[in-house]
């Protein structure tokens, strides 16, 4: 298939583009290189530099690439940042996605895999979370993704757009040649490993007074190759609208457990201190992903802490400056 991968110069989009190429698809990456890296676009993919907020540019790019399917990873994704810059989040994530699906409909492309997030649930009423549980986002990031999710069924009905919303829990991991390279870096796993590698003096635990077994936040970590596989499986089944899928493992780890695992793997002390809570952090986010397992046949075999940390550590050790050589 001809597949457009938006955000294919970024972390998850880069892994997805690479996997699609491996499977024999023709891939065109759309990216504005705001947070992505030209060097992250996998070899063999075509690349079009385009900002999704530029409706005409997106229309031209879609016409040129003539995709049969689109995987849409490009987004602004930082919860904390979204609190201070809601207009950027609605601009990139809502207006940008609207432009993209508008152009898809015009071009007769009917398969759409959308990167959504656990942040659509806000503070969940029960754990593990099921797809139909209430959506009450507590930050503009989660709200922006939920707005798009709500737009999609109407596009299915009116224009025959077949879509799948992939609700990511906490993605981590990497490979020797590909991994997370964010500026600023805010995610737990790369921050811990940068501390282990001596690139940071210490690690701060954001709050130890949560109502969890050790007082720190619990998250459901998914390994990036596993995450991408769910997209590939969804793509195969997109001859009808599929709805939403939680992508997690039903197993939560606390911040302190991930810290201990990182200390064990790297054999480094990783000095840690306890700081205040971070605004917008729910105490526990753990997914029930039965739907992805039964309906897509998804089996996240690599999503144990050791495999995830190992991949991320391999990336950092081989690329201490990320994609900058
Ligand atoms: N954490 C620390 N110290 C740090 C960094 C993170 O203690 O220096 C903690 C956070 O408080 C959180 C956990 O580590 O409990 C994971 O934090 P991340 O920043 O790695 O990830 P988030 O849980 O904030 O974000 C993820 C996804 C978002 C999604 C969000 C839902 O990256 O896309 O879950 O809340 F919106």
Question: Could you report the per-residue pLDDT of 79-134, keeping only the tens digit for each?
Answer: 889 999 999 999 999 999 999 999 999 999 999 999 999 999 999 999 999 999 99
Which atom of ligand 1 lies closest to the CA of 278?
11
Distance CA 148, CA 114 (A): 9
Distance CA 99, CA 105 (A): 10
Which atom of ligand 1 lies closest to the CA of 118?
31
Distance 168 CA to ligand 1 centre (A): 12
**Of all protein residues, whose CA lies closest to atom 25 belonging to ligand 1?**
170
Contact 219 CB / ligand 1 (< 6 Å): yes
User: pLDDT value at position 325?
Assistant: 72
Burial of 227 (0-12, 13-18, 19+ CB in 10 A): buried
Distance CA 245, CA 120 (A): 12
Each residue's pLDDT tens digit, 6-23: 999 999 999 999 999 999
Token pair listed for 292: 């992805």
Average pLDDT on 251-266 reads 97
Contact 118 CB / ligand 1 (< 6 Å): yes
Token pair listed for 171: 């993605």
> Could you count the other beta carbons within 10 Å of the beta carbon of residue 163?
26
Contact 222 CB / ligand 1 (< 6 Å): no
**Of all protein residues, whose CA lies closest to atom 3 belonging to ligand 1?**
205
Q: What angle do CA 138, 140, 141 make, to 5 degrees?
A: 100
Residue-averaged pLDDT of the chain: 97
Each residue's pLDDT tens digit, 263-311: 999 999 999 999 999 887 889 999 999 999 999 999 999 999 999 999 9
**pTM (whole model) above 0.95:** yes
In the chain the domains, ranked by start, together with CATH numbers, are 2-171+221-247 (3.40.50.720), 173-219+250-318 (3.90.25.10)
Contact 76 CB / ligand 1 (< 6 Å): no
Q: What angle do CA 120, 116, 83 make, to 5 degrees?
A: 55
Distance 246 CA to ligand 1 centre (A): 17
Contact 167 CB / ligand 1 (< 6 Å): no
pLDDT at 210 over 90: yes
**Of all protein residues, whose CA lies closest to atom 11 belonging to ligand 1?**
206
Residues known to be catalytic: 141
Distance 30 CA to ligand 1 centre (A): 27
Contact 117 CB / ligand 1 (< 6 Å): yes
pLDDT at 41 over 80: yes
pLDDT at 198 over 90: yes
Q: Alpha helices of the chain — where are they, by DSSP H?
A: 11-22, 55-65, 79-84, 86-89, 96-107, 140-159, 188-196, 224-236, 255-266, 290-291, 305-318
pLDDT band at 228 (very low <50, low <70, confident <90, very high): very high
Distance 311 CA to ligand 1 centre (A): 19
Q: What are phi and psi of 38, to 5 degrees?
A: -55, -35
């Amino acid at each position: 298939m001809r597949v457009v991968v938006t955000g294919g110069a970024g972390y998850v989009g880069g892994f997805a583009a690479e996997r699609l190429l491996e499977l024999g698809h023709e891939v065109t990456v759309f990216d504005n290189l705001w947070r992505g890296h030209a060097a992250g676009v996998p070899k063999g993919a075509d690349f079009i530099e385009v900002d999704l907020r530029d409706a005409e540019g997106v229309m031209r790019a879609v016409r040129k690439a003539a995709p049969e399917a689109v995987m849409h990873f490009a987004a602004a994704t930082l919860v904390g940042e979204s609190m201070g810059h809601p207009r950027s989040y609605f601009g990139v994530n809502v207006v940008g996605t609207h432009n993209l699906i508008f152009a898809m409909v015009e071009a007769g492309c009917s398969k759409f895999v959308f990167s959504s997030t656990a942040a659509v649930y806000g503070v969940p009423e029960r754990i593990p979370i099921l797809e139909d549980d209430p959506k009450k986002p507590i930050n503009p990031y989660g709200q922006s993704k939920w707005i798009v999710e709500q737009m999609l069924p109407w596009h299915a009905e009116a224009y025959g757009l077949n879509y799948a919303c992939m609700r990511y829990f906490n993605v981590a991991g990497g490979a020797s040649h590909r991994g997370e390279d964010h500026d600023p870096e805010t995610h737990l796993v790369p921050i811990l490993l940068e501390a282990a590698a001596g690139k940071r003096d210490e690690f701060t635990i954001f709050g130890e007074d949560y109502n969890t077994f050790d007082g720190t936040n619990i998250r459901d970590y998914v390994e990036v190759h596993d995450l991408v596989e769910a997209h590939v499986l969804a793509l195969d089944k997109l001859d009808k609208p599929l709805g939403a899928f939680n992508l997690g493992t039903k197993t939560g780890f606390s911040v302190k457990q991930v810290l201990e695992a990182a200390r064990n793997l790297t054999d480094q002390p990783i000095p840690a201190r306890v700081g205040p809570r971070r605004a917008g952090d729910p105490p526990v986010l753990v997914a029930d992903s039965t739907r992805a397992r039964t309906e897509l046949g998804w089996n996240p075999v690599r999503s144990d802490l050791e495999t995830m940390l190992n991949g991320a550590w391999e990336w950092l050790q081989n690329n201490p400056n990320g994609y900058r050589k």
